[in-house]
Amino acid sequence: MQGDRDDSRDPAFVIVTGMSGAGRSTAAKALEDLGWFVIDNLPPGLLFAMAEEAGKVKLAADKVAAVVDVRSLAFTTDLNAAIEELEGRGVRVRVVFLEASDEELVRRFENVRRPHPLQGEGRLVDGIARERGILREVRANADLVIDTSSHNVHELRNKIVAYFGGEDRPGLRVNVVSFGFKYGLPVDADLVVDCRFLPNPHWVPELRPMNGLDTPVREYVLGQPGAKEFLDAYEEVLKVVAAGYAREGKSYATLAVGCTGGKHRSVAMAEQVAARLRDRGMEVQVSHRDVGRE
């Protein structure tokens, strides 16, 4: 049974995939800099052969990764079959999916003046749409989804290092991100909570220029009725969720905390959520997506 499996002792094999232009090459280079053995643009059908060959030359079992893309028409079928074969041989597979908005992908392709690999005789947006359709199932089943829409190459590299720089450390790794609902939900969020039930510091003149990292704003938000009760309740929910993720072998989770503009309430509350998770011994990083956007 899956619940009886000791994931901590299984070798790990990371598959990096996702949208063309979303940063697969940057992720691969970051893993290589961390000492990983990485093969780029590997057809899904060769994943098991690569893992087997890596074992023969005694590469670290938890430092092997492959970057695969969608150019094979049978991509989804081939990738699912490869993952099943690897897991059937006792290899713990982790799939990392890199995502970006259509607008950002168009901008990136236009900057480098290259066609999309699935564009054919159509438009750039046609290739992107086709790729999204092919990758829908892969994205849904990925262990880690990273939205690179607002990341430059250095920020993406730092995120990869944060996730994979200490693979020997056990337990769930959590990214807590604050955001503003008016700018859209983070597409890589596993869980989303809404802090708009709290009074908005935006309407307090002396607090409006500040953000949730500033002490006056933090004290104002945390001092509101319901703030502590929410944090206490959400901490209990996350305790249950984290245990379930561990049973399912999920190593990474992104928790999104939102308010209207992503500047005051969500920032202060995200910092508190992260602090409570760290107190429980979890490895946590925090980012504030929309601070400074107004």
Q: What is the mean pLDDT of residues 108-127?
A: 88
Residue 6's pLDDT band (boundaries 50, 70, 90)? Answer: very low
Mean pLDDT of the region 155-178: 78
Which pTM was predicted? 0.66
- Output the pLDDT for position 9: 38
Q: Where in the chain is the domain with CATH 3.40.50.300?
A: 13-165
The span from the CA of 89 to the CA of 139, in Å, is 23
Sorted by sequence, the CB contacts under 8 Å of residue 131 that are 6+ apart come out as 19, 20, 70, 116, 117, 118
Instruction: Please state the residue numbers annotated as binding site.
Output: 18-25, 69-72
CA distances from 284 to 148, 204, 273 (A): 19, 31, 10
Q: Determine contact, residues 290/257, Cβ cutoff 8 Å.
A: no
User: What pLDDT is recorded for position 174?
Assistant: 92
Binding site for GTP: what residues are annotated?
Answer: 69-72
Give the integer Cα–Cα distance in Å for 261 and 63: 40
What does the pLDDT average to over 208-213? 96
Instruction: Compute the distance between CA of residue 253 and CA of residue 270 in angstroms, rounded to an integer.
Output: 14
Confidence of residue 201 (pLDDT cuts 50, 70, 90): very high
Element (H, E) at 68: none
- Give per-residue pLDDT as tens, 134-155: 888 889 888 889 999 988 888 8
Using an 8 Å Cβ cutoff, are 65 and 16 in contact?
yes
Q: Which are the contacts of 1, defined by CB distance < 8 A and separation ≥ 6?
A: none
More confident residue, 144 or 258: 258
Mode of pairing for the β-strands spanning 173-180 and 252-259: parallel
Q: 128 — phi, psi (to 5°)?
A: -65, -45
d(CA 67, CA 28): 7
Binding residues for ATP, as ranges, are 18-25
* pLDDT category of residue 224 using cuts at 50, 70 and 90: very high
Q: Which pLDDT band holds residue 99 (cuts at 50, 70, 90)?
A: very high
Q: Just give the CATH number of 13-165.
A: 3.40.50.300
What would the two tokens of residue 252 be?
């990474």
Handedness of CA 125, 126, 129, 134 (dihedral sign): negative
The answer, yes or no, to whether residue 41 has pLDDT greater than 90, is no
Q: What is the mean pLDDT of the chain?
A: 85
